[in-house]
Structure 1
Amino acid sequence: MTRRKTAAALVWAAWAARIGIALASFTHLHASAQDAGQQALYTKSLAATCANCHGTNGNAVAGSSVPSLAGLDKNHLITQMKAFKNGTRPATVMHQISKGYSDAQIESLAVFFAAQKK
């Protein structure tokens, strides 16, 4: 191979590598978007179980003895759920329900309910 052909081959190889990297990046971004969408759906399904008592999207029925969760501070929600979970906050059923959630699930729920409108 001549020097000119070798140089041209190297240029094309470099371009091919760049295109490959770009395509891999786009695939990763698409996968991340899918993961984010799946995470949002998963969190909504967790929140749906809370709707039985706390209402749709955390908006309890007016006059209910069960508090609304919508719009509450994320850290407050996490603190309360962990207090139910470890038994430091008295409850009728929440101490049992909260034990079924991991810390990551509790955080996801707290973020979800904090973002809901009252």
Structure 2
Amino acid sequence: MKLTPALALLCLLGTAGAAAAADPNLARNLAATCANCHGTDGRSVGGMDRLAGESRDGLLQKLLAFKSGERPATIMHQIARGYSNEQLALIAGYFAAQRAQD
């Protein structure tokens, strides 16, 4: 009898993870948090780096370097630590897929 609540909890956790993975807008929603500094869809019009159209691997490398503290920053190291490596990969992929405006 004691296994039933534990099994129910495992099932709920498993379905919650599957629901998040099935969200077709997850990458876009995660990337939207970058708009304040880097512009809508990564198309910066100010002094911040443009992210749209950049290499996915390059962006991910930068994000992981911010997260680890290897790359110095004023705030990006704090922001990057709030995401899992998988979420950072989704964000990098989203911006890489955006067309840069010239």
Same fold (TM over 0.5): yes
2:47 maps to 1:65? yes
Q: Which runs of 5+ in 1 are unaligned?
A: 1-34
| Aligned twin of 1:107 | 89
Paired residue for 2:35, among 42, 48, 51? 51
Q: Which runs of 5+ in 2 are unaligned?
A: 1-18
More relative contact order, 1 or 2 (CA 8 Å, 6+ apart): 2
Overall identity of the aligned pairs, in %:
47
The alignment partner of 2:82 has SS state of coil
Residues 1-118 of structure 1: pairs in structure 2 closer than 5 A: 38-61=22-45, 64-118=46-100
Aligned residues: 82
What's the Cα RMSD here?
1.8
CA deviation map 1:75-107 (0-9, x unaligned): 001100000000010101000000001011011
Which segments of structure 1 move beyond 6 Å, counting only runs of 4 or more? none
Q: Which structure shows the bigger proportion of residues in helix conformation?
A: 1
Cα separation, 1, equivalents of 2:85 and 2:27: 13
